[in-house]
């Protein structure tokens, strides 16, 4: 069975700083996807970034980038130039390929951006 | 384009009462998901629909939970009777087809007292 672990329950940084959220996972699969989702107080789960396991290049979306270490089963999210609107819960999720979007979720990290 | 719409946003009920949640997915999305999210945890899949067919309901507590998606568009999730442990956020999501990105609604926060 796959598991996803987020070891940081809560983090806070000053606006404009860079912050890295950790995620590790356990799987015996070789073909899978990893995701970071953001859940602001509005509760809507928003996809931030997606990584396909067979791609060695780390995914990047504007200020968001990942450090994907497949051998170490690590998938951290880096947020550069953090903004107040980045305050939210961040969830790491794993999906086995061809599993009909069945996501395995971590417990989340609460990120607070301070002005 | 409207996203996934859920109602109500909040619901407070006494235990043993019934409750229903409604979800309108993004137009054209034939895959619909219901998740339950307990406080401080990630979402847990309850049921997945492909059009009007429930293709995965293995995590749905069938003694008290039911769901339907009669015309393959809107869906309702019902709990009868509700228990204190059912207090959670119920999220609906939809995707164009399997294995494509799912878009989430804002959820319904249920409090059972």
Q: List alpha helices for chain B, DSSP H.
A: none
- Give the least confident one: A10-14, A41-45, B20-24: A41-45
Q: What CA–CA distance (Å, rounded) separates B73 from B106?
A: 18
Chain B residues 3-62 with a CB less than 8 Å from chain A? 3, 31, 33, 40-45, 48, 55-56
Find the residue in B nearest to A99 (Cα): B99
pLDDT band with cut points at 50, 70 and 90 for residue A97: confident
- Distance, CA of B69 to CA of B84 (rounded, Å): 26
Cβ distance of B43 and A105 shorter than 8 Å: yes
Q: How many angstroms separate the CA atoms of A35 and A94, rounded?
A: 6
Hey, how many other C-beta atoms are within 10 angstroms of the C-beta on A39?
Answer: 22
Q: Which residue in the set A45, A50, A107 is minimally distant from B104, CB to CB? A: A45
Summarize the confidence of residues B14-21 as an average pLDDT. Answer: 97
Mean pLDDT of the region B40-44: 88
Q: Is A23 a residue whose pLDDT tops 80?
A: yes
The pLDDT assigned to B72 comes to 83
Q: Is the pLDDT of residue B99 over 80?
A: no
Chain A residue set in contact with B, beta carbons under 8 Å: 4, 9, 42-47, 50, 91, 93, 97-103, 105-108
Band (B58; pLDDT cuts 50, 70, 90): confident
| Arithmetic mean of pLDDT, A79-100 | 91
Question: Does residue A68 have a pLDDT over 70?
Answer: yes
CB contact under 8 A, A44 and B95: no
Per-residue pLDDT band for A100 (boundaries 50, 70, 90) equals low
State the pLDDT at residue B21.
97
Question: Taking phi first (over 0 means left), then psi (-120 to 50 degrees means alpha), and beta for anything else, what does residue B99 get?
Answer: left
**Per-residue pLDDT averaged across B1-26, rounded?**
94
Spell out the residues 6+ positions from residue B38 whose beta carbon is closer than 8 angstroms to its own.
B44, B88
CA distances from A65 to A8, A58, B10 (A): 18, 7, 34
Q: Which of A1-15, A90-104, B81-95 has the lowest mean pLDDT?
A: A90-104
* Mean pLDDT computed over B75-103: 91
% pLDDT > 70, chain A: 97
Say if the Cβ atoms of A106 and B102 lie within 8 Å.
no
Closest partner residue to A101 (CB to CB) among B42, B91, B98 is B98
CA distances from A93 to A100, A101, B8, B43, B77 (A): 14, 11, 27, 10, 24
Q: What is the pLDDT of residue B74?
A: 95
Q: What was the pLDDT predicted at B1?
A: 61
Sign of CA dihedral A14, A19, A21, A22: negative
Distance of CA B42 to the CA centre of its chain: 15
Segment B20-48 mean pLDDT? 93
What average pLDDT does chain B have? 92
| Chain B environment of A61 (Cβ under 8 Å) | none
Separation of alpha carbons A54 and A52, rounded Å = 6
């Amino acid at each position: 069975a796959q598991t996803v672990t987020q070891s940081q329950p809560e983090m806070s940084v000053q606006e404009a700083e860079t912050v890295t959220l950790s995620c590790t996972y356990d799987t015996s699969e070789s073909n899978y996807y990893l995701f970071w989702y953001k859940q602001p107080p509005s509760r809507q789960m928003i996809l931030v970034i997606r990584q396909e396991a067979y791609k060695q290049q780390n995914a990047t979306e504007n200020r968001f980038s990942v450090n994907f270490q497949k051998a170490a089963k690590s998938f951290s999210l880096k947020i550069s130039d953090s903004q107040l609107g980045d305050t939210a819960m961040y969830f790491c999720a794993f999906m086995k390929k061809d599993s009909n979007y069945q996501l395995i979720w971590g417990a989340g990290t609460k990120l607070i951006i301070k002005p | 384009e409207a996203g996934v719409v859920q109602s109500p946003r909040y619901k407070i009920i006494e235990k043993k009462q019934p409750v229903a949640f409604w979800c309108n997915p993004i137009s054209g999305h034939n895959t619909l998901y219901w998740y339950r999210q307990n406080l401080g945890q990630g979402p847990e899949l309850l049921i997945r629909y492909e059009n009007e067919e429930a293709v995965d309901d293995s995590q749905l507590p069938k003694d008290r939970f039911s769901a339907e998606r009669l015309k393959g568009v809107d869906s309702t999730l019902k709990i009868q009777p509700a228990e204190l442990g059912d207090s959670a956020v119920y999220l609906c999501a939809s995707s164009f087809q399997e294995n494509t990105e799912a878009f989430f609604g804002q959820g319904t926060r249920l409090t059972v007292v």
